[in-house]
Amino acid sequence: MKKEVRDPQALDPEQLSALLETLRKIAEKATGLASVDMEVLRWTVEDAVQWYRIDPWAEAEFKKMTIHEIVGPVGVILATLRNDANNGFMFNALGDGDFFKGVRRRDALIAYLERLVARAPRHRPPKRPNHRPPGTNLRRLVGHLANGWLLLTNNHFSNDWMGKDPISPGAQFVHAVVKVVDPSSLPQLPVATRWVVNARRKGRLPGYFNDASRKDAI
């Protein structure tokens, strides 16, 4: 039997089970409910943890992209392909001696290159801002979990701390996740959580929901 390969970005089953149990107790205590929707709780945590681990890698890879650099060279190639004086050579070379096949292949080649030229500039790495706050990914994680907390409990996402110890249920919720996923970031968690609460009050939605919410964490 083929052994199932576990997603390296996911928590192992024992970790996840223990974490979900901890979060369930926090949510039930906060709401007074006999039970919470474990399906919502599970996908909230799994989604947030997966993106928290993937996002730094994805951003680093995006910064390495050079596809936008083809625009100039491909523009020269397109001009050459459209030059009627080159048709005889191109039709023969591309069609292996078949004129009509050469015409079809030349037209298809132009169409594909035009598509590349149109789309490549969208993948130009963004200019690095003059100031990028630390803990951006942690803010996204907290924001994503805060939204999950609202869906799960229908309660306000609270942010009360005594030093680095979480007091309010919302703070306890995100603390429990970060303690498992990235304990080295626990010292920065109170600041990140306060930042997310203030951002949400201003109508921003930091998290992993889309590009806009990712920018809202900056």
What's the mean pLDDT in 107-112?
Answer: 94
Percent of the chain with pLDDT over 70: 90
pLDDT digits (tens, 9 = 90+) for 17-27: 999 999 999 99
Hey, how many other C-beta atoms are within 10 angstroms of the C-beta on 188? 16
pLDDT digits (tens, 9 = 90+) for 12-52: 889 899 999 999 999 999 888 778 889 999 999 999 999 99
What is the pLDDT confidence band of residue 129, given thresholds at 50, 70 and 90?
Answer: low
Whole-structure pTM value: 0.69
Predicted local distance difference test score (pLDDT) of residue 191: 92
Whether pLDDT at 80 is above 70: yes
Token pair 């990914």: residue: 137
Predicted local distance difference test score (pLDDT) of residue 78: 93
Report the range out of 6-20, 54-68, 162-176 with the highest average pLDDT: 162-176
What's the mean pLDDT in 72-90?
Answer: 92
Distance CA 191, CA 202 (A): 17
What DSSP state is assigned to residue 208?
Answer: S
Whether pLDDT at 181 is above 70: yes
Sketch the domain layout of the chain as residue ranges.
13-65+130-215, 67-123
Residues β-bridged to residue 1: none
What is the pLDDT confidence band of residue 4, given thresholds at 50, 70 and 90?
Answer: very low
Whether pLDDT at 150 is above 80: yes
What is the pLDDT confidence band of residue 69, given thresholds at 50, 70 and 90?
Answer: confident
Percent of the chain with pLDDT over 90: 51
**Which residues have CB under 8 Å from 153's CB, separation 6+?**
27, 30, 31, 36, 169
